[in-house]
C-alpha cells in the first residue's frame, strides 16, 4: 500500500523507513476474533476459487492458529521459502518508501485490524487485507520475484514520471488479478481474496469484463477504488507475468505518453475475451 502526498517523513514512533513494531502482544481478544472470523469465512470460500499457489502459501504460513499472526513467526517460514519478510507500518506510506521495501523483499503491512462492523468493507488496508491477502502469494518463488521486480520498476517509474501507469499494473495484477488454469479462472489478487463479496463477483458475476492480460493494455486502463472492478485481467501463468515485467519499460512509457486511456469497460479488437461483461452491476450502481 502506498499513497502520494507525504513530505514530512515518518510519523512519531516510526523508523526512518516507516516501519514500526507490530506489538503483537497488544492485540485484544476481540481483535483476534475479527481475524478468525474473516479467516474462517475466506478459507471456506476460497478452495476452487483462489489459485493453488495462494492456497499453498496460506497453508505453509499457518495464518490461522493464533488469531492475528505474529509477523516474526510468519517471517521465519516466509524468509526460508522466498527470502521475503513482512514489516509493520503505521498505515499508507510514501510511494518511494513502499517501492524500496518491495525491491528489498519486504512487504509493508498495516498493523491495525478493522472493527467488527467493518468486516465487509474498509477503505484503508488493514492487517487482514495485507497479510491474508498478500502474504500467501509471496511464498511462491515466481510471484516473489515479480513483487521485487515491481518495487524496482516503481523506483524507476517514479524517476520517469510514469507512476500512474505503473500503479495500474499493481492494481490489475497484485490486487485484482485472475489466473487462467486448466480448471478455469482462479484468483490471485489480494483485493479479491481478502473480500468475501468480490471473491464471488470476480469469478461468477456476468457484469465485469474478463480479458487477457497485456502489459500495455493494462497500463492504459483506469480502475475504480470504490466498488467491484468493471474489468479483470487474466494472466496465463505467474511466469508469464514475471516475464512481461522483465523488460525495459522506457519504450513502453514513451508509447503510453502518446496514447489515450481506454474507457474502463471497453473491449478492444485486440483483447482476448474470457467474458464479455454485461456491466449490469456497474450501471445499476451508477444509477443509485
Interaction site with Fe ion (CB under 5 A): 125, 190
CB of 259 to Fe ion, least distance (A): 27
C-beta of 57 vs 125, nearer to Fe ion? 125
CB of 48 to Fe ion, least distance (A): 23
C-beta of 69 vs 277, nearer to Fe ion? 69
C-beta of 125 vs 277, nearer to Fe ion? 125
CB of 18 to Fe ion, least distance (A): 16
First CA to last CA distance, the chain: 30
CB of 130 to Fe ion, least distance (A): 6
C-beta of 98 vs 249, nearer to Fe ion? 98
Give one DSSP letter per residue of 157-196, joined into a string: HHHHT-HHHHHHHHIIIIIT-EEEETTEEEE--HHHHT-H
Element at 57 (helix H, strand E)? helix 52-61
CB 202 within 8 A of CB 229: yes
C-beta of 106 vs 253, nearer to Fe ion? 106
Helix axes 71-82, 52-61, angle to 10 degrees: 130
* Residue closest to Fe ion, measured at CB: 190
CA quadruple 244, 60, 106, 175: dihedral sign? positive
C-beta of 10 vs 191, nearer to Fe ion? 191
- Residues 6 or more apart from 194 whose CB is under 8 A from it? 38, 42, 128, 129, 132, 133
Give the C-alpha distances (Å, rounded to integers) separating 61 from 32, 74, 80, 100, 173.
Answer: 17, 6, 11, 24, 22
Q: Which of 199, 200, 180, 201 is nearest to 189 (CA)?
A: 199
CB 3 within 8 A of CB 93: yes
CB of 203 to Fe ion, least distance (A): 19
CB of 174 to Fe ion, least distance (A): 7
Amino acid at each position: 500500500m502506498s499513497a502520494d502526498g507525504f513530505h514530512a517523513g515518518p510519523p512519531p514512533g516510526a523508523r526512518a523507513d516507516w516501519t514500526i513494531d507490530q506489538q503483537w502482544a497488544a492485540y485484544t481478544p476481540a481483535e483476534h476474533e475479527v481475524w478468525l472470523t474473516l479467516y474462517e469465512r475466506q478459507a471456506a470460500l476460497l478452495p476452487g476459487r483462489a489459485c493453488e499457489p495462494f492456497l499453498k502459501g496460506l497453508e505453509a504460513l499457518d495464518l490461522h492458529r493464533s488469531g492475528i499472526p505474529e509477523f516474526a513467526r510468519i517471517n521465519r517460514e516466509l524468509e526460508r521459502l522466498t527470502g521475503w519478510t513482512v514489516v509493520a507500518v503505521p498505515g499508507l506510506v510514501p510511494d518511494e518508501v513502499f517501492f524500496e521495501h518491495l525491491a528489498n523483499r519486504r512487504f509493508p503491512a498495516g498493523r491495525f485490524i478493522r472493527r467488527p462492523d467493518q468486516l465487509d468493507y474498509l477503505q484503508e488496508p488493514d492487517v487482514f487485507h495485507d497479510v491474508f491477502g498478500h502474504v500467501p502469494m509471496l511464498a511462491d518463488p515466481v510471484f516473489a520475484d515479480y513483487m521485487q521486480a515491481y518495487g524496482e520498476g516503481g523506483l524507476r517509474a517514479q524517476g520517469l514520471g510514469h507512476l500512474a501507469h505503473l500503479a495500474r499494473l499493481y492494481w490489475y495484477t497484485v490486487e485484482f488479478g485472475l489466473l487462467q488454469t486448466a480448471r478455469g479462472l482462479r484468483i490471485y489478487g489480494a483485493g479479491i481474496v481478502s473480500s468475501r463479496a468480490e471473491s464471488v463477483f470476480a469469478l461468477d458475476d456476468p457484469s465485469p469484463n474478463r480479458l487477457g492480460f497485456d502489459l500495455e493494455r493494462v497500463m492504459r486502463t483506469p480502475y475504480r477504488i470504490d466498488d467491484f472492478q468493471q474489468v479483470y485481467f487474466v494472466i496465463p501463468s505467474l511466469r508469464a507475468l514475471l516475464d512481461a515485467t522483465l523488460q525495459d519499460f522506457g519504450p513502453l512509457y514513451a508509447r503510453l505518453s502518446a496514447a489515450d486511456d481506454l474507457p474502463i469497460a471497453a473491449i478492444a479488437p485486440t483483447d482476448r475475451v474470457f467474458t464479455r461483461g454485461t456491466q449490469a452491476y456497474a450501471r445499476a450502481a451508477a444509477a443509485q
